[in-house]
Amino acid sequence: MSGAFKHLPIMMITLPMLGAALMPFVSYLRREAVPWVSALFLVVSGVLGLLLAGRIPPDGCVGYRLGGWEPPFGIELKVDFAGYFLMMVVCGISLLALLYSRLYIIREVEGGKITAYYVLFLLLSASMMGFVVTGDIFNLFVFMEILAISSYALVAVTGNRNAVRAAFKYLLMGAPSSIMVLLGIGLLYSATGTLNMADLAARVGETGYREVLIASFAVLVLAFMVKAAIFPLHLWLPDAHSIAPSPMSAMLSGLVVAVSAFAIARIAFSVFTVHSWGVVGTTLDALAAAGAAAVLFGGIMAIYQRDFKMMIAYSTISHMGYIVLGFTALNPEGLTGAVYHVLDHGIAKACLFLCAGNFIYRKGYRRIDQLKGAWREMPWTCFAFALAAWSVIGLPPSAGFISKWYLVYGNVKADRVPYAVVLLIGAILAAVYCFRIIYYMFFQPGEEGAWRDQVMDAPAGMLAPTWALSLATLFFGVFSYLFLDSLLKAAASLLA
Amino acid sequence: MKRLVSLLFIGALALLLLYVVSRMPPMGEPDNPTATRVVPRYLEKAEDETHTPNVVTGIILNYRGFDTMGEVTVIYCALAAVLAVLGRERRGRIRDYVELSGLPSSVIVRTMVALVVPFILLFSLYTIFHGETSPGGGFQGGAVIGASMIIFTTIYGLHLSSVKVPQRFRSPLEGSAVITFFLVGVLGFFGGGNFLTYAWPRVSEGLHPALVTWLTVLVEVGIGLGGAMVLISILFAMVREEGADEPLA
């Protein structure tokens, strides 16, 4: 990649950061402009990303040396196809959630805090984009800090007692995990003397300090398990994700946890090369067991929820298990499934939360049994929900089907038939909790006076992002062949 | 029971980590990985390559400048987080705890603060501008400015300090650390380098030494100014919160 194009990834990351930095001033001049200017920065970022399409070789990666310093001495971005793909996913979903926020957030957040909401929103998107493509492990930590701090604050932004409590719980689990990431990086640095991922991968095999490296890997995996809410360490997620404002729930559930789960894969494959080493494999086996437990636990808990957003949050726990089971299969198919699952889970989960937001915006309903007969008054939201739920279950032709197919295939190929069965059971559980709501919405008579007979759906500014996401689940299902070959190659080169 | 289990778990974890510490490279040995891989180049060449006599500044603003850009973003993010939870102070006349408590501080304290604050500010400017040659820099200087405003606000009250540093002055400057980093970073493209190369205008035989130094100082100033404004805005938001329960006339 030559010419000005090599600068595109860094511009994609830093432009939303610049936007966030300018936002207090924009707000001082004209508060109504803040949502539009924020959206503009993400749009520019996305357009720069589209210009990159076809310029990232699927079986390699494009390095970008910040400040022009060669790798072990300076920081390097390593944009491989998987990273680029996730960057675009982050950018797209963030943009839609941001546009949705404009109308929704006025109801839940008081006027003076709206600018801070958009600042944090832009910082969250920028940090996730940096997080997935950085080639330096300390830089990963820096982006993780931005990601974590903005997430805590965005959970608490509504300012009511429950939101603050949920955010505090999130902070109490998140802050130690951030420290553990730093501890893991410190141990790694003490044993190798370098922070660059490629350089680490070369030196991890030859250094003599095995115990230190093992401890470092274990600590890093544990820390990112908290961030990704993987089963025994998921306790913060249901409260935080269900109480946050809906577009924020969409970001947290759709992107933040999934990107953190991908970080485990990045560390396992780009820093500790799996094949050279037995113990790393053992840790990954333990992680896979946790992932399988997460699939079942999240699915079963989701069935028992009475709060709509709580149910979606538990479904997220289940789906983080899917991603973990995907990349721990240690073959290209499983990893491709995991990366594609970040995409389709992100889209579908964001769409579900935006639908929940529509119900809350119009009616203030949060309980599942209040949704009986919702079809009569809010048909568009109900149909969008049904489409997204289709993808969450993983039925063809949605994108969820594609990723689950690869996840199951990868696990069967790795001789992990029990895990493949767990994945299928997870899909059945998803069908139970999704079809229950679809049944309530479309086929149950509502309570007297709960819904009007006349169509009064959410405003177009909120329906458009919701529908864009629900149609995207179909698009990425039907046109998945456009991406899968490149993703398979990228996954193979990541594992090599 | 729950406590006992937690205690046992933490104890086991501590033992495990202590074992790992015992297996770490011995402290201070010259052939440790930490002393042999990247550090020698930083120590030997930093002054020539980054044109800043202070090696630490050379590392954080040049070799690993992007990390520092991330860190200033973290500081800025902290401000946004505080404002998202507490809200910004209202514009216009603010009634704060000094007025509400009705307890004016003594003349001696007020005079001392008025005398000391200018010197603190002067010192902070020294710290910022001299950060590329001696210990210090934008982060420290900004923190000192913030501290001076904390002293001033505690004694003179929120109203007077928000007149001295009004919101229309702070709001464009809060993000100045990130903005300066971005602008200096993009300047690198025009010099034919990468983001944060400190290379503009293009010089045929490489980077222009004086220019690199000046751009480094510029970034320090941005960090100092931004950090100071962030601290002051956080202070104002928190002070207002303290008086918020009181009835406002």
Choose the closest CB to B194 out of A68, A73, A209. Answer: A68
The nearest CA of chain A is from the CA of B165 a distance in Å of: 15
A298-332 pLDDT per residue, tens:
999 999 998 989 999 999 999 999 999 998 888 88
Q: How far apart are CA A8 and CA A53, in angstroms?
A: 11
Residue A281: per-residue pLDDT: 78
Q: How far apart are CA A431 and CA A470, in angstroms?
A: 17
Domain that holds residue A82: 3-495
Cα–Cα–Cα angle for B114, B116, B121, rounded to 5 degrees: 105
- For B43, list phi and psi in degrees, rounded to 5: -70, -35
Amino acid letter for position B8: L
Residue numbers in A near B41 (CB within 8 A): 73
Q: Enter the DSSP assignment of B25.
A: P
H helices present in A414-459, as ranges: 417-443
Residue numbers in A near B189 (CB within 8 A): 4, 7
CB B177 within 8 A of CB B76: yes
Q: Enter the DSSP assignment of A331.
A: S
- For A27, list phi and psi in degrees, rounded to 5: -65, -35
Mean per-residue pLDDT for A384-398?
90
Bond into A465 cis (ω within 30) = no
The nearest CA of chain A is from the CA of B175 a distance in Å of: 4
User: Which residues are bridge partners to A65 per DSSP?
Assistant: A76
Better pLDDT: B123 or A364: B123
Of the listed ranges A266-275, A413-422, A472-481, B107-116, the least confidently predicted one is A266-275
Q: Does B64 touch chain A (CB under 8 A)?
A: yes
Cβ-defined contact of B35 to A193 (cutoff 8 Å):
yes
DSSP letter for each residue of B171-221: HHHTTHHHHHHHHHHHHHHHTTS-TT----S-BTTB--HHHHHHHHHHHHH
Choose the closest CB to B78 out of A17, A149, A157. Answer: A149
How would residue A432 be classed by pLDDT, with cut points 50, 70 and 90? Answer: very high
Q: In the predicted model, is pLDDT for residue A81 greater than 80?
A: yes
Cβ-defined contact of B195 to A123 (cutoff 8 Å):
no
Residue numbers in A near B39 (CB within 8 A): 193
Between chain A and chain B, how many beta carbons pairs sit less than 8 Å apart? 196
Choose the closest CB to A22 out of B65, B78, B175. Answer: B175
Residue A467: per-residue pLDDT: 93
Choose the closest CB to B171 out of A25, A153, A157. Answer: A25
Mean per-residue pLDDT for B131-147?
87
How would residue B246 be classed by pLDDT, with cut points 50, 70 and 90? Answer: very low
Better pLDDT: A202 or A168: A168
Residue numbers in B near A72 (CB within 8 A): 37-38
Better pLDDT: A413 or B92: A413
Q: How far apart are CA A398 and CA B115, in angstroms?
A: 70
How would residue B133 be classed by pLDDT, with cut points 50, 70 and 90? Answer: confident
CB B90 within 8 A of CB B169: no
Choose the closest CB to B84 out of A113, A136, A187. Answer: A113
Euclidean distance between the first and the last CA atom of chain B, given in angstroms as a whole number: 53
Residue numbers in A near B192 (CB within 8 A): none
How would residue B24 be classed by pLDDT, with cut points 50, 70 and 90? Answer: confident
Residue B92: per-residue pLDDT: 56
Residue numbers in B near A14 (CB within 8 A): 69, 182, 185, 195
Q: How far apart are CA B198 and CA B219, in angstroms?
A: 10
Residue numbers in A near B196 (CB within 8 A): 66-67
Residue numbers in A near B6 (CB within 8 A): none
B87-99 pLDDT per residue, tens:
877 665 556 666 6
Mutate to test the interface with B, among A2, A7, A8, A17 (most CBs of B within 10 A): A17
Q: pLDDT above 90 covers what percent of chain A?
A: 53
- For A277, list phi and psi in degrees, rounded to 5: -150, 125
* Dihedral, A470, A89, A350, A253 alpha carbons, nearest 10: 150
For residue B69, give the nearest of B213, B175, B203, B189 by alpha carbon. B175
The nearest CA of chain A is from the CA of B244 a distance in Å of: 14
Q: Three-class SS string for A253-314?
A: HHHHHHHHHHHHHHHHHHHCCHHHCHHHHHHHHHHHHHHHHHHHHHHHHHHCCCEHHHHHHH
Residue A277: per-residue pLDDT: 64
Of the listed ranges A20-29, A107-116, A242-251, the least confidently predicted one is A107-116
Q: In the predicted model, is pLDDT for residue A256 greater than 80?
A: yes
- Measured from the Cβ of residue A294, the count of other Cβ atoms closer than 10 Å reads 30
- For A328, list phi and psi in degrees, rounded to 5: -75, -10
Better pLDDT: A183 or A365: A183
Residue B29: per-residue pLDDT: 83
The nearest CA of chain B is from the CA of A176 a distance in Å of: 13
Structure tokens at A218: 């274990």
Of the listed ranges A12-21, A167-176, A380-389, B93-102, the least confidently predicted one is B93-102
| Average pLDDT value for chain A | 89
User: pTM for the complete prediction?
Assistant: 0.93
Better pLDDT: B156 or B72: B72
Q: Does B69 touch chain A (CB under 8 A)?
A: yes
**Is A283 exposed, middle or buried, given 0-12, 13-18 or 19+ CB atoms closer than 10 A?**
buried
* Dihedral, A42, A48, A53, A59 alpha carbons, nearest 10: -90
The nearest CA of chain A is from the CA of B113 a distance in Å of: 30
Cβ-defined contact of A146 to B74 (cutoff 8 Å):
yes
Q: Which residue has the tokens 């009250």?
A: B157
Domain ranges across chain B: 55-243
- Measured from the Cβ of residue B172, the count of other Cβ atoms closer than 10 Å reads 17
Q: How far apart are CA B152 and CA B144, in angstroms?
A: 12
Domains contained in chain A, number: 1
Better pLDDT: B160 or A261: A261
Cβ-defined contact of A146 to B62 (cutoff 8 Å):
no
The nearest CA of chain B is from the CA of A30 a distance in Å of: 12
* Coil, strand or helix at A60: coil
A216-226 pLDDT per residue, tens:
998 999 999 99
Q: How far apart are CA B131 and CA B120, in angstroms?
A: 16
Residue B205: per-residue pLDDT: 58
Cβ-defined contact of B182 to A150 (cutoff 8 Å):
no
Cβ-defined contact of B24 to A119 (cutoff 8 Å):
no
Q: Does B14 touch chain A (CB under 8 A)?
A: no
* Coil, strand or helix at A446: coil
Residue A274: per-residue pLDDT: 65
CB A272 within 8 A of CB A210: no
Residue B248: per-residue pLDDT: 41
Choose the closest CB to B65 out of A67, A149, A154. Answer: A67
Residue numbers in A near B73 (CB within 8 A): 17, 20, 123, 126-127, 146
B46-96 pLDDT per residue, tens:
888 888 888 888 888 888 989 999 999 999 999 999 998 888 776 655 566
Q: How far apart are CA A382 and CA A395, in angstroms?
A: 18
Please tell me which residue of chain A has the smallest CA distance to B181: A18
Q: Which of residues 180-199 of B touch A (CB under 8 A)?
A: 182, 185, 188-189, 193-199
Residue B207: per-residue pLDDT: 66
Q: Where are the beta strands (DSSP E) in A121-203?
A: none
Mean per-residue pLDDT for B190-212?
72
Residue numbers in A near B25 (CB within 8 A): 190-191, 209, 212
Residue A384: per-residue pLDDT: 93
Q: Which residue has the tokens 């944090």?
A: A120
Inter-residue long-range contacts of A203-209, CB under 8 Å, 24+ positions, other chains counted: A203/B33, A203/B37, A204/A271, A204/A272, A204/A273, A204/A276, A205/A273, A205/A276, A205/A277, A207/B33, A209/B23, A209/B24, A209/B25, A209/B33
Residue B69: per-residue pLDDT: 93
How would residue B156 be classed by pLDDT, with cut points 50, 70 and 90? Answer: confident
Cβ-defined contact of B189 to A215 (cutoff 8 Å):
no
Residue A15: per-residue pLDDT: 94
Q: Does B8 touch chain A (CB under 8 A)?
A: no
